[in-house]
Amino acid sequence: MGKKILDSRFLYIVLSILIAVGLWLFVTINDEAPESRSITRIPVTFTGEDILAGRDLMLVGGPYTASVTVQAAPTVLAAFTNKTVQVTANVSGIAEEGTHTVSYTVIQPSGISPSQFTVVSGVNGNVIDVEVARFNRREVEIRGEFTGNAAEGYLAGEADDFRFYPEKIWVSGPLEAVNQVSYALVTVPGKDLTETVDGDFSFQLYDPSDNPLTDLNVTCDVQTVHAIFPIQATAEIPLSVSLTDGGGVSAEQATVELSTTSIAVAGTTEAVEAIKAAGVINVATIDLASVSDGEELTFPVPLADELTNLTGVTEVKAVVRFNKRVVEKSFDVTNIYAINTPEGWTAAPVTQVLPVTVRGSAALVNALTADSFRVVADLKNVTPTAGPYTASVDVYLDSAPSAAELGVLTGDYRVILNFTEGEPEPTASPGTGE
């Protein structure tokens, strides 16, 4: 049985292979004859760049790589690749812009000692040429461009309506490159928008001739900009004037002609819906006792801060017309009184006659006399001093019908009173109302 095994041809073949492999491994392991290999495209790590920056200088033209020829035993050489080898170069000695040659140091892979390999220098040694440029950093403005559209019934803002955060961006890099930058442009798209745009957007740098700058060797302090661009709701809102009875004319007996009957407004959806719900913008309230037939008045158009007047009409003219025949007549009123005179004082009228104008139908006006009126100065909130005093007065029309039938015209009615210390003698009360 054993003899058959020893005589087996197959066994001899297997033993021969194992012996050959063992001999090859022995020779390989113990073969210390060094070999050389060139390792290319090794990224260069620079030190001393902070010192360059302190001199307003910077490296440009990267990324930089180096080629290294290493001599070592084959087993050691196998550990050297452009992923495991490091190359460092110190640029702290550079003091001016231009092309400079700096030496570099090769750092071996982990687990390999310096005694196990040799870096074979090229004809120029272990050096690399680097480009250094003058450094610059400055702020540039941000502009906006809306390339979309607003939905029907809405209005997109203008370029000046953009708001950016931050308001400007810092651009850093070689002086020549940074000086090419004029502004950064934020482009905002959108279709049939109904709400204000509010979000973060990228930007493109442009030169002074409005050409986009691509592949420019600069860096920006931000990658996106927060932009707000208004999309406003719009509406056409009627204008109106309200009237109050007075001077012998009722609101139903007068009409008002307005130079502008409506304006277009824009604003947030909420603000526009609120004013649409109101239905009208009341420009003013006119007391008919203060105007004459055919008189023209001018009023500003009031608008909430949340709304913009798209029409541009900031004031409106109103012409008041009476639809009834009325007459005006002036009376010299002598019934002048002071009420609520401060304690310890006497207020005697210096003014003896005050012209008062009244308006109404001819029959009612002609039935009046000067005694139909009372002129009353209320001194309740007056701090008196001895001597003359000008007081505003109210004019009352005794036994008059409504102000819509007969009334005193509004005016700046004033009288002169003379204050003296001492209690006044008792007199009949003039009354305080109509």
Give pLDDT, residue 434: 46
Going by C-beta distance under 8 Å and a sequence separation of 6 or more, which residues neighbour residue 388?
Answer: 350, 416, 417, 418, 419
Which run of H or of E encompasses 36? strand 35-47
428 domain-assigned: no
Give pLDDT, residue 235: 95
342 domain-assigned: yes
Residues 19 and 43 in one domain: no
CA 182-188-191 angle, to 5 degrees, is 155
Residues 154 and 201 in one domain: yes
Q: What does the DSSP 8-state code read for residue 108?
A: P
> Where residue 243 sits, what CATH number does that domain have?
2.170.120.40
- Please report which confidence band the pLDDT of residue 108 belongs to, taking 50, 70 and 90 as the band edges: confident
Report pLDDT digits (tens) over 192-233.
999 999 999 999 999 999 999 998 888 999 999 999 999 999
Report pLDDT digits (tens) over 78-92.
888 889 889 999 988
Residues 260 and 300 in one domain: yes
431 domain-assigned: no
Look over the chain and give the mean of its residue pLDDT values, rounded to a whole number: 88
Residues 286 and 350 in one domain: no
Residues 180 and 216 in one domain: yes
Domain count, the chain: 5
User: What are the tokens at 166?
Assistant: 């931050």
426 has pLDDT over 90: no
Residues 302 and 220 in one domain: no
**Which of 229, 245, 273 is the last residue in one of the domains?**
229
Contact 74, 96 (CB under 8 A): no
427 domain-assigned: no
Give pLDDT, residue 428: 54
When comparing pLDDT for 262 and 75, which is higher? 262
Residues 279 and 364 in one domain: no
When comparing pLDDT for 398 and 237, which is higher? 237
Report pLDDT digits (tens) over 341-395.
999 999 999 999 999 999 999 999 999 999 999 999 999 999 999 999 999 999 9
3-state SS class at 399 = coil
Give pLDDT, residue 7: 55
Give pLDDT, residue 341: 93
What percent of the chain shows pLDDT beyond 70?
90
Residues 292 and 363 in one domain: no
**Which of 276, 297, 322 is the last residue in one of the domains?**
322
The residues pairing with 229 across neighbouring beta strands, listed in sequence order, are: 197
pTM for this predicted structure: 0.60
Residues 311 and 332 in one domain: no
User: What are the tokens at 143?
Assistant: 């502009």
> How do strand 35-47 and strand 86-90 relate by DSSP bridges?
parallel
d(CA 352, CA 58): 94
Going by C-beta distance under 8 Å and a sequence separation of 6 or more, which residues neighbour residue 136?
Answer: 56, 172, 173, 174, 175, 178, 179
Residues 139 and 178 in one domain: yes
414 domain-assigned: yes
Residues 214 and 146 in one domain: yes
The residues pairing with 346 across neighbouring beta strands, listed in sequence order, are: 420
Q: How many residues does the chain have?
A: 434
HSE on the CB side for 411, CA within 13 Å? 18
Q: In what order do the strands lie in the sheet with 197-201?
A: 163-165, 225-229, 197-201
The residues pairing with 211 across neighbouring beta strands, listed in sequence order, are: none
- Please report which confidence band the pLDDT of residue 125 belongs to, taking 50, 70 and 90 as the band edges: confident
Query: Could you list the residue range(s) of the whole structural domain that residue 265 is in?
Result: 235-322
> How do strand 262-267 and strand 225-229 relate by DSSP bridges?
unpaired
432 domain-assigned: no
> Where residue 107 sits, what CATH number does that domain have?
2.170.120.30
362 domain-assigned: yes
268 domain-assigned: yes
Q: What is the largest CA-CA distance in the chain?
A: 164
How far is residue 221 from each of residues 101, 170, 225, measured CA to CA in Å? 31, 5, 11
**Which of 264, 287, 322 is the last residue in one of the domains?**
322
For the beta carbon of residue 432, count every other beta carbon within 10 angstroms.
13
Residues 21 and 45 in one domain: no
Going by C-beta distance under 8 Å and a sequence separation of 6 or more, which residues neighbour residue 370?
Answer: 331, 332, 333, 334, 335
How far is residue 357 from each of residues 24, 146, 292, 296, 411, measured CA to CA in Å? 134, 62, 12, 20, 9
Going by C-beta distance under 8 Å and a sequence separation of 6 or more, which residues neighbour residue 247?
Answer: 288, 289, 290, 291, 326, 359, 360, 403, 407, 408, 409, 410
When comparing pLDDT for 31 and 119, which is higher? 119
Report pLDDT digits (tens) over 251-297.
999 999 999 999 999 998 899 999 999 999 999 999 999 999 999 99
